[in-house]
Amino acid sequence: MTLTATKTINPRVIDNDKDEIIVVFEGRPLRWWNYTNDAERRTKMLCAREYVEGWCDGRDGKSAA
């Protein structure tokens, strides 16, 4: 998978619709999950979204302090 460098404020969740979900920030992968079926994909997508939410909460809390 080719990741393009783009300036974003928040990380992006990318699902290649085959077997992998990646969280990317400014073109660099932060975390990834592999899955083998649709049930696993749904679970791992929730994990990825929670990861991004926590990442953003941590960043926002750090700047507010």
| Domain ranges (residues) in the chain | 12-64
List of E strands, the chain = 12-15, 20-25, 28-34
pLDDT band at 48 (very low <50, low <70, confident <90, very high): very high
Can you give the pLDDT at residue 41? 97
Can you give the pLDDT at residue 65? 53
Summary mean pLDDT of the chain: 87
In this prediction the pTM is: 0.77
Between residues 45 and 58, the one the model is more confident about = 45
Q: How many CB atoms lie within 10 A of CB 21?
A: 22
pLDDT band at 60 (very low <50, low <70, confident <90, very high): confident
